[in-house]
Amino acid sequence: MDVSVVIPLYNEKESLPELVEWITDEMDKNSLSFEIILVDDGSSDGSWSVVENIASRNKSVRALRFRRNYGKSAALYSGFGIAKGRVVVTMDADMQDDPGEIPELYRLVSEEGFDMVSGWKRKRYDPPGKRIPSLFFNLTARVVTGIRLHDFNCGLKAYRNEVVKNIEVYGEMHRYIPMIVKDAGYTRIGEKVVRHHARKYGTTKFGMERFIKGFLDLLSLSFVSRFGKRPMHLFGTLGTLMFLVGFIAAVYLGSTKLIHISKGIRTALVTDSPYFYLSLTAMILGTQLFLSGFIGEMIARNSPFRNSYEIENRINV
């Protein structure tokens, strides 16, 4: 099979029939064998009934339904797990991504050897309240990750099948899939300018809080990527430095007290000095950083249940 098109969806019942038909026409026009994987992320508007109806008429459609809303990353991860195509293409269900871009994305991956090709919506039909924060978000992501992409969060992307089988997307990390791909050792990451359309049905499902979550996820992913396999390089260094500062300060205070005593000079108790408690605090914090500062992140990263999702229904899966 040439292409697997993975589409996460949440309350998009109006757009689904038209979107599936559009994708089918483009694939047939370019003589590509394909499958469409619809992942219903716990929709409450009757989207699953629409999916069932589409699947009954179009045998290229496979589908999963979550029992509740887990998020886009969960939907992508589950779709990647069952994708069979040589090239896996992801796109949003709101019809703002153009299926006409799929054949060229397929060619870039299958013929030019890219591990991943990310879409770039150079001309966007989103309101300023969404475009302006995205510019800042993408600039920050480029600086932190070192990956020169203009649009990290574009839903339209293409991957070699091997890539999606060897990456793990969880939480809100779908925004940083290029970084996850690079961290997994797949460095041939390209970019293609893609057409973007104004939303035809419904409203966006993402609010302003996504930018705060996105920034925090970027810091988390950057940290795990750099220090996940060598946490002592960070925590050990910080802990050791903080402990040494506190220890040296405590030794200085003690030495000063002993020198004064040896010379018969009356002086206050060491414990009367605020610097004693500051040095003691620094040593305690340094020890904690050294021993346990990274435990929480390591436990979360290695949890066997992080990508455990309850799938309520399946079609052709």
Query: Residue 48: which CATH number?
Result: 3.90.550.10
Q: Pull the structure tokens for residue 255.
A: 């030495």
How far apart, in whole angstroms, are the C-alpha atoms of residue 135 and residue 108? 26
Say if residue 75 is in the same domain as residue 8: yes
Query: What pTM was estimated for this model as a whole?
Result: 0.71
Contact between residue 37 and residue 62 where contact means Cβ atoms under 8 Å apart: yes
Tens place of pLDDT per residue across the chain (317 aa): 999 999 999 999 999 999 999 999 999 999 999 999 999 999 999 999 999 999 999 999 999 999 999 999 999 999 999 999 999 999 999 999 999 999 999 999 999 999 999 999 888 766 665 666 677 777 777 877 778 888 888 999 999 999 999 998 887 788 889 988 988 889 999 999 999 888 777 666 555 565 666 666 666 666 666 665 566 667 778 888 999 999 999 898 888 888 888 887 777 777 788 888 899 999 999 888 887 766 665 665 666 656 666 676 788 87
Of 176, 190, 165, 179, nearest to 114 by C-alpha is 190
Task: Answer positive or negative: Cα dihedral of 72, 75, 80, 81.
Answer: positive
Task: Give residue 215's pLDDT.
Answer: 65
Q: Is residue 162 part of a domain?
A: yes
Task: Give residue 38's pLDDT.
Answer: 97
Say if residue 242 is in the same domain as residue 223: no
Say if residue 108 is in the same domain as residue 243: no
Ramachandran quadrant class, 229 (left: phi over 0; alpha: psi -120 to 50; beta: rest): alpha
Radius of gyration of the chain (CA): 26
Task: Give residue 106's pLDDT.
Answer: 97
Say if residue 211 is in the same domain as residue 252: no
- Domain, as residue range, for 281: 235-293
Q: Is residue 306 part of a domain?
A: no
Task: Give residue 63's pLDDT.
Answer: 97
Which of 208, 228, 248 is the C-terminal boundary of a domain? 228
Count up the domains in the chain and report the number. 2
Q: Is residue 148 part of a domain?
A: yes
Q: Is residue 212 part of a domain?
A: yes
How far apart, in whole angstroms, are the C-alpha atoms of residue 118 and residue 286? 42
Say if residue 196 is in the same domain as residue 95: yes
Q: Is residue 309 part of a domain?
A: no
